Chain A
Amino acid sequence: MFSNFDFEVVRRSLPYLFYEGMTFTVTLTALSALGGLIFGTAIALMRLSGFKILGRIAGVYVDFMRSLPLVLVIFWFYFLVPYIGQWVTGASRPISVGAFASSLITFIMFEAAYFSEIMRAGIQSISRGQPAAANALGLTYAQTMRYVVLPQAFRNMLPVLITQTIVLFQDTSLVYVLSITDFLGAASKVAQRDGRLVEMYLFAAIVYFTISCVASFGVRRLQARIAIIR
């Protein structure tokens, strides 16, 4: 079954796969997670702010993003971002944004919806007495959030946030639909050039599997640790 396999092709393309492909994937994952977390926290705060309109806007945004397939959202932003750029900069034609910028914006906006639900749960898990105490101490709303609520919410939700980042890491492979050279894109380009689909896709699967597995075992250990402290 493996007799006419050519694993040499994998070895030969390793530098390309990892320097080009994996670098793109990891950078995209890290920046999207960071951006998604910041935006997501902002959305969660909007939802919990008590201002009806702000809460409604945030809720509609989250529900909207979560009912659409990621592939469609990737297409949307790919075509929309040049026009938004034109509108913002006042240029006479739609500006061209690189593949990286376009997919980064897509993933930040998309993941913000998911991260916001996690952060909302995290903020709601803090007992009411804490913001009340902060208020009594004379802390402003911003200070209460910055020094009391958010650090704890973030810490309590850390395992879930990392799990969501692992999902994000796997989802970045969908930029394949824009023919971008992320890790899977690189593997697929080599596969098609050399006619070695089986070897390259199996290798890509093993790499994704190993990274996600190691990360999720890490999350489990982290969870156990946090559980003991509490």
Chain B
Amino acid sequence: MNYHWNWGIFFEPNPMGTGTYLDMLLSGLVLTLKTGALAWIIALITGSIVGVMRTLPSKGAYWFGFAYVEFFRNMPLLVQLFLWFFVLPELLPKAAGLWLKQLPNAPFWTAAIGIGFFMSARVAVQLQAGIGSLPRGQKMAATALGLTTIQGYRYVLLPMAFRIILPPLTSEFLNTIKNTAVAITIGLLELTGQARSMQEFSFQVFEAFTAATLLYLLVNAVVVTSMRFLERYVAIPGYITGK
């Protein structure tokens, strides 16, 4: 190997004048986490609504949920980001389109919304499965107690379903964080993007990518560990994972 290693590169100043190369990567990490967090909030809220709709007795709600999931699941995330970023502003009325294009931090908002909706389809499927896994009697008991449909979901079905699907939701959350790397294509300088520009400025390919890899592994480990605690905390007594 005639590759010239230079691990000290992280402490050399970067050409942008924003501190060292390490600072550059860390600012990328922060942006990755911010984008991931916002996208996850969007995914969780819309995904929960759609997931519940897919379990409602109403045919219309079911079909809407079905179409929603198929729509967001059957296109590559990259294409969806392009649709949000390049196509949507052109399809809107002129003034609105212009406003969108001139928005500061447009890549950030586009990435968060695009990834959020992309992941919401997956959350919806998980939640539908979670609600479906509950015994039928729970819904009936809620109705027999005089709870309305909304109350039944709010107090009986959802608290159970969310706790059951916590492990798959954890991996969907990790997927959300990982998917923010796709936003490099619309110019978001998240962790992968910063590693890439560090490589372009300094020619230290492997140092840059090694650092990015370690940071991703660290994020992964932190999320997995904290979710383990949460899982244990909310475990349902009587289930395999329960106390």
Q: Which residues of A line the B interface, CB within 8 A?
A: 1, 64, 67-72, 75-76, 79-80, 83, 86-87, 93-94, 170-171, 173-174, 176-177, 184, 188, 197-198, 201-202, 204-205, 208-209, 212-213, 216
Contact = CB atoms under 8 A, between A and B. Distances in A.
Contacts of B73: 212, 216
Q: What 8 A-B pairs have minimum CB-CB distances, sorted nearest first?
A: A69-B181, A212-B74, A170-B76, A67-B220, A69-B178, A71-B181, A173-B76, A197-B86
Contact of A202 (B1, B83, B174, B196): B83
Contacts of B16: none
Contacts, number: 105
A94 B79 CA distance: 34
Given A67-B216, A79-B206, A83-B3, A198 B90 contact: yes
Contact of B209 (A79, A176, A213): A79
Question: How big is chain B's contact interface, by range?
Answer: 35 or more
Contacts of A197: 82, 86-87, 90
Given A170-B75, A171-B76, A198-B90, 4 more contacts: A83-B3, A201-B87, A202-B83, A209-B71
Nearest to B224: A67
A57 B135 CA distance: 40
Nearest to A170: B76
A204 B82 CA distance: 10
Given A72-B192, A174-B182, A208-B74, A202 B87 contact: yes
Given A1-B91, A197-B86, A202-B83, A184 B76 contact: yes
Interface in B167-220: 174, 178-182, 184-185, 192, 195-196, 199, 205-206, 209, 212-213, 216-217, 220
Contact of A68 (B2, B79, B216): B216
Interface of B: 1-3, 70-71, 73-80, 82-83, 86-87, 90-91, 174, 178-182, 184-185, 192, 195-196, 199, 205-206, 209, 212-213, 216-217, 220
A205 B2 contact: no
A196 B75 CA distance: 20
A183 to B, nearest CB: 10
A100 to B, nearest CB: 19
